């Protein structure tokens, strides 16, 4: 039963984030522990390690700006462990329209560690080459539009 609840919460969080720039980040941030660690793999504009609520929230705000019309589809959520130390692996796809008319599409893996209902660690892994290509397209479109 506990694992089913965790799967539901994870799916709900991805649904919230799929609202893009209209996503209620308070709902997402409520899931994180005060000492949480978030990382997004790769050396690019969204990559890095972030600790604590303000740093993590700033990353999500930046993500909303970069991909204001993002959509996630959760393929599978695998949960193991007990409430005090739960491991969650989420396999997902992500897509977002880009200003040049192309569509960013990627696959990803989220690895969470949850303790007593709060996210302690959240690590995101996507195909970095695809992400970098999309970020480069965004950068070029901003140069051409003067943004």
- Prediction pTM value: 0.91
Mean pLDDT of 88-115: 96
Residues 44, 132 contacting (CB under 8 angstroms): yes
Q: Using CA atoms, how far apart are residues 115 and 107, in angstroms rounded to an integer?
A: 26
Q: Look at residue 145 in the predicted model and tell me its pLDDT.
A: 46
Q: Which residue has the higher pLDDT, 139 or 67?
A: 67
Mean pLDDT of the chain: 94
- Contacts of residue 91, Cβ cutoff 8 Å, sequence gap at least 6: 74, 75, 76, 77, 78, 107, 108, 109
Mean pLDDT of 5-21: 96
Per-residue pLDDT of 55-69, as tens digits, reads 999 999 999 999 999
Mean pLDDT of 116-121: 97
Residues 40, 56 contacting (CB under 8 angstroms): no
Containing structural domain, residue 71: 2-145
Geometric angle at alpha carbon 106, from 62 and 28, rounded to 5°:
40
- What's the CATH code of the domain at 71? 3.10.450.50
DSSP output for 68-125: TT-EEEEEEEEEEEETTEEEEEEEEEEEEE-TTS-EEEEEEEEEEEEETTEEEEEEEE
Q: How many domains does the structure of the chain reveal?
A: 1
Residue 83, CB half-sphere, CA atoms under 13 Å: how many? 5
């Amino acid at each position: 039963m506990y694992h089913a609840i965790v799967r539901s919460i994870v799916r709900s969080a991805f649904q919230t984030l799929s609202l893009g720039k209209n996503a209620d980040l308070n709902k997402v941030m409520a899931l994180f522990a005060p000492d949480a660690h978030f990382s997004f793999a790769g050396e690019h504009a969204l990559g890095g390690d972030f600790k604590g609520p303000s740093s993590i929230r700033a990353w999500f705000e930046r993500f909303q700006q970069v991909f204001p019309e993002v959509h996630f589809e959760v393929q599978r959520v695998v949960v193991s462990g007990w409430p005090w130390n739960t491991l969650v692996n989420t396999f997902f796809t992500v897509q977002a329209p880009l200003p040049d008319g192309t569509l960013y599409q990627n696959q990803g893996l989220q690895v969470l560690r949850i303790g007593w209902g709060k996210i302690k660690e959240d690590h995101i892994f996507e195909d970095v080459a695809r992400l970098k290509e999309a970020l480069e397209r965004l950068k070029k479109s901003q140069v051409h539009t003067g943004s």
